[in-house]
C-alpha cells in the first residue's frame, strides 16, 4: 500500500508543480488557452458533455498562486501531510519516503508539463446478460507533455503504475498502448480491492487505452473513445472548440484562468438515464421537447484571493427559458456600518415571492396525494388581507439583509443576540403608504383569535435625530422598525442598529470598507441581480468571542479549524442581472 500512496502523492505534485512554477510565453498566443502549452480541445470530440482543464492561461496565474500559497501554507504542516500520504509517520522512514517522492516527482516533471485535461463523452444505457441496466463511462484523460516526449518516453512513467502495457495496435498510424489498471486500482483498497469489481455492469472496465497526439498524452476508458479523440486530432471529426456554445461560454470567462470547465446538457441524452435509473415519474420532470443548456466555469488566482466565475448560459429549444434577476443598485452599504459581518441584497422581493409561489405550488400539487392550497390564498383566508395589494404591492424596491455585531439583551443575557443583530432593509418610494400598510397588517394579525399575535404591539420611541423608532413593546431594545434615508429598516436590536447606521452616515460605512470594495471589484462593471458578502475575519472573531463568553472549550477549534479560517478574509458572490446572466464567487485570502 505504501508505494501506491507515494506514487499518488508524486503524481499530484508533479502534475501541478509546473503550473505553479510558471509556463513560457509564446507556445500559444490568444485563443481559449492563452499562454498555456497544451490545447486539449484538439483531442476532444465535439460531442463531449464535460470538458475541464487545469492549466495557466496567463502569465500572472503562477505568481498569484505562489503568493496565495505563502499565506495558506504556514497554516498547515505540509511535511506531515506528505508523510501521511506516503504512509509513514516518523524519523528515518519519513526522510526515506520524502526522498523517494522527490525522485519520482523529478522524473515525472521531465515527462509532463503540468497541464491536465478531462473530457466525458455521452454514455448510453445498456443491459447485462442478467438484464441489469448499466451505463458505461466514456472518459478522456489528457496530460501535457514536455517537448520531445513521445509514446516511447512514456514507458517509464507507465512502469511506475505497475500496469501491464502493450502496444500492438495502431490507429491512423498512431501507436495505441493498452493499460490494464485493475491491479493498481485494486491495490488502493476499499471497494476496489478485488479485480472482480470490474464486471459487465461496471461503469469502467479497468482497462485503458492511450496514445500521444502532438504534445498531449491521451488516456481513454475504452478503445472507441480513444479513436474518437484521434479522429479529432487529425481533423476527421469536429473538435469541441468548433462549437458555438463552447466558443460563446468560454470567451465570456476571464482570460486569466487556472481551471476551465465546460458543461453541455442535452435533454435527449439524459432522458434515457433518468427513465432507467430514477423512474418514469422523474423523467416527467424533463421538458418533452428537445433542448440543450451549455455553460462554462473558471477559477482564477487573484493577488488577494480566488475568483470562481460562471458564464452566461446558452439555452436552446425547450431549455431556452429563464427570467433572471432584476438589477439592484446595492445602495445599502452606504447606510450600513463598516463592520457589517454579512450583507445580502437583491431587487423586487415582492415579484420574486409571487413568482416562487406560482412555481412551487403547482409542482408540489403534482407530487402530493392531497390538496395543497396556494399559501397566498391561505393567508388571505386567515387574515382577510389581500396579500398582493396589502403586502407585495409595496415590496418592489431594493432589499437587503445584514448581520451586525451589535445586539439586545431583551432575548436573554446568555443569547448570541446580545452581540448580533439581523437588519432587513427595503427601499420604499412612499413612506406614508407603507406605514399605512404596516398598520393594517398589524391590526389584521392581532385580530386572529388564539394566535398569540395580540402581543404584536408597537410603541413609538423618539430619538435625538427626530426619527422615531417603532419598538415591539415586549422587546423595548430589540425588535422594531423605522424609516431612514428612504428605506424601511427592520432590526432585532433596532436602537443599536440605528445608532450604527448613523455612524455609517458619518463616514464609517460598508461602502467605504477596503475589504468590501476590493471584493466587489473582482466582479467587473456588470449590473448585479444579487450581491452577497461576508467579512470572514470579523465574523470569525465575533463568533469566537460569543463562544468564549458562553463557556465553550475552544481548544479543539484553535488546533483545528482556526488556523485555516484565519487565512481567509472574505467571501463574496454576485448573480448578474438579466436572464441566464451567470455569476461569480470571490474567496479573499490574506494575512
Structure-block grid coordinates of residue 144 = 501535457
Q: Render each residue's pLDDT in the chain as its tens digit; 591 residues.
A: 444 444 444 444 444 444 444 433 223 333 578 899 999 999 999 999 999 999 999 999 999 999 999 888 877 655 555 555 455 445 455 555 555 555 555 556 678 899 999 999 998 777 766 667 777 889 999 999 999 888 777 766 666 555 555 666 899 999 998 888 776 555 554 444 444 455 556 778 788 899 999 999 999 999 999 999 999 999 999 999 999 999 999 999 999 999 999 999 999 988 888 887 777 777 788 888 999 999 999 999 999 999 999 999 999 999 987 778 999 999 999 999 999 999 999 999 999 988 888 777 666 555 555 566 677 777 777 778 888 899 999 999 999 999 999 988 877 777 787 889 999 999 999 999 999 999 898 888 888 777 666 677 889 999 888 889 999 988 888 899 999 999 999 999 999 999 999 887 667 899 999 999 999 999 988 899 999 999 999 999 999 999 998 889 999 998 888 888 999 999 999 999 998 899 999 999 987
- Supply the Cα-derived Rg of the chain in whole angstroms: 29
Q: How many CB atoms lie within 10 A of CB 571?
A: 18
Exposed (0-12), middle (13-18) or buried (19+): which is 170, by Cβ within 10 Å?
Answer: exposed
Report phi then psi at 181, rounded to 5. -100, 10
| Antiparallel, parallel or unpaired: β 125-127 and 164-171 | unpaired
Q: Report the run of H or E that residue 367 belongs to, with start and end.
A: helix 349-367
Whole-angstrom distance, CA of residue 253 vs CA of residue 524: 12
Tell me the torsion sign for CA atoms 88, 94, 100, 104.
positive
| Antiparallel, parallel or unpaired: β 305-310 and 342-347 | unpaired
| Antiparallel, parallel or unpaired: β 480-484 and 398-404 | unpaired
Residues 6+ apart with CB under 8 A from 75: 563, 564, 566, 567
Angle in degrees, CA 266, 573, 494, rounded to 5: 135
Exposed (0-12), middle (13-18) or buried (19+): which is 361, by Cβ within 10 Å?
Answer: middle
Whole-angstrom distance, CA of residue 40 vs CA of residue 213: 10
Report phi then psi at 508, rounded to 5. -90, 65
Amino acid at each position: 500500500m505504501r508505494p501506491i500512496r507515494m506514487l499518488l502523492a508524486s503524481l499530484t505534485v508533479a502534475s501541478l508543480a509546473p503550473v505553479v512554477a510558471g509556463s513560457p510565453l509564446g507556445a500559444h498566443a490568444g485563443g481559449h488557452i492563452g499562454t498555456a502549452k497544451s490545447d486539449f480541445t484538439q483531442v476532444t470530440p465535439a460531442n463531449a458533455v464535460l470538458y475541464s482543464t487545469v492549466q495557466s492561461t496567463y502569465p500572472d496565474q503562477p505568481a498569484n498562486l505562489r503568493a496565495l500559497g505563502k499565506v495558506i501554507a504556514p497554516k498547515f504542516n505540509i511535511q506531515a501531510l506528505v508523510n501521511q500520504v506516503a504512509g509513514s509517520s516518523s524519523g528515518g522512514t519519513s526522510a526515506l519516503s520524502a526522498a523517494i517522492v522527490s525522485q519520482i516527482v523529478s522524473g515525472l516533471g521531465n515527462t509532463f508539463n503540468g497541464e491536465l485535461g478531462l473530457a466525458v463523452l455521452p454514455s448510453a444505457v445498456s443491459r447485462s446478460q442478467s438484464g441489469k441496466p448499466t451505463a458505461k463511462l466514456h472518459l478522456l484523460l489528457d496530460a501535457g507533455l514536455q517537448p520531445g516526449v513521445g509514446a516511447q518516453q512514456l514507458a517509464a512513467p507507465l512502469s511506475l503504475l505497475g500496469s501491464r502495457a502493450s502496444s500492438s495496435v495502431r490507429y491512423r498510424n498512431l501507436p495505441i498502448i493498452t493499460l490494464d489498471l485493475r491491479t493498481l486500482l485494486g491495490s488502493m483498497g476499499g471497494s476496489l480491492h478485488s479485480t472482480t469489481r470490474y464486471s459487465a455492469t461496471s461503469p469502467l472496465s479497468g482497462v485503458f487505452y492511450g496514445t500521444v497526439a502532438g504534445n498531449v498524452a491521451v488516456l481513454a476508458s475504452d478503445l472507441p473513445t480513444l479513436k474518437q479523440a484521434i479522429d479529432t486530432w487529425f481533423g476527421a471529426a469536429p473538435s469541441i472548440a468548433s462549437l458555438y456554445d463552447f466558443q460563446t461560454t468560454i470567451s465570456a470567462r476571464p482570460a486569466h484562468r487556472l481551471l476551465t470547465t465546460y458543461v453541455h446538457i442535452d435533454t435527449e441524452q439524459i432522458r434515457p438515464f433518468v427513465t432507467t435509473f430514477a423512474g418514469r415519474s422523474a423523467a416527467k420532470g424533463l421538458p418533452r421537447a428537445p433542448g440543450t443548456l451549455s455553460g462554462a466555469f473558471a477559477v482564477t488566482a487573484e493577488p488577494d484571493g480566488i475568483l470562481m466565475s460562471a458564464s452566461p448560459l446558452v439555452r436552446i429549444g425547450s431549455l431556452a427559458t429563464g427570467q433572471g434577476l432584476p438589477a439592484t443598485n446595492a445602495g445599502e452599504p452606504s447606510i450600513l456600518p463598516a463592520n457589517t459581518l454579512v450583507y445580502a441584497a437583491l431587487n423586487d422581493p415582492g415579484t420574486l415571492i409571487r413568482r416562487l409561489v406560482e412555481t412551487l405550488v403547482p409542482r408540489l400539487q403534482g407530487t402530493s396525494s392531497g390538496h395543497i392550497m396556494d399559501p397566498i390564498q391561505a393567508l388571505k383566508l386567515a387574515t382577510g388581507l389581500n396579500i398582493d395589494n396589502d403586502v407585495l404591492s409595496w415590496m418592489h424596491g431594493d432589499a437587503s439583509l445584514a448581520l451586525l455585531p451589535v445586539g439586545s439583551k431583551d432575548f436573554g443575557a446568555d443569547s448570541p443576540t446580545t452581540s448580533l443583530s439581523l437588519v432587513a432593509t427595503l427601499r420604499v418610494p412612499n413612506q406614508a403608504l407603507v406605514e399605512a400598510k404596516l398598520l393594517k397588517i398589524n391590526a389584521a394579525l392581532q385580530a386572529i383569535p388564539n394566535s398569540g399575535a395580540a402581543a404584536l404591539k408597537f410603541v413609538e420611541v423618539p430619538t435625538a435625530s427626530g426619527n422615531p423608532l417603532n419598538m415591539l413593546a415586549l422587546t423595548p431594545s430589540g425588535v422594531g422598525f423605522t424609516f431612514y434615508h428612504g428605506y424601511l429598516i427592520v432590526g432585532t436590536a433596532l436602537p443599536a442598529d440605528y445608532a450604527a447606521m448613523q455612524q455609517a452616515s458619518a463616514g464609517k460605512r460598508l461602502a467605504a470598507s477596503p475589504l468590501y470594495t476590493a471584493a466587489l471589484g473582482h466582479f467587473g462593471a456588470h449590473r448585479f441581480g444579487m450581491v452577497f458578502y461576508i467579512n470572514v475575519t470579523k465574523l470569525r472573531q465575533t463568533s469566537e468571542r460569543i463562544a468564549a463568553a458562553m463557556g465553550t472549550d475552544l481548544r479543539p477549534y484553535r488546533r483545528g479549524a482556526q488556523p485555516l479560517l484565519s487565512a481567509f478574509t472574505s467571501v463574496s458572490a454576485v448573480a448578474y442581472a438579466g436572464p441566464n446572466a451567470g455569476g461569480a464567487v470571490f474567496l479573499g485570502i490574506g494575512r
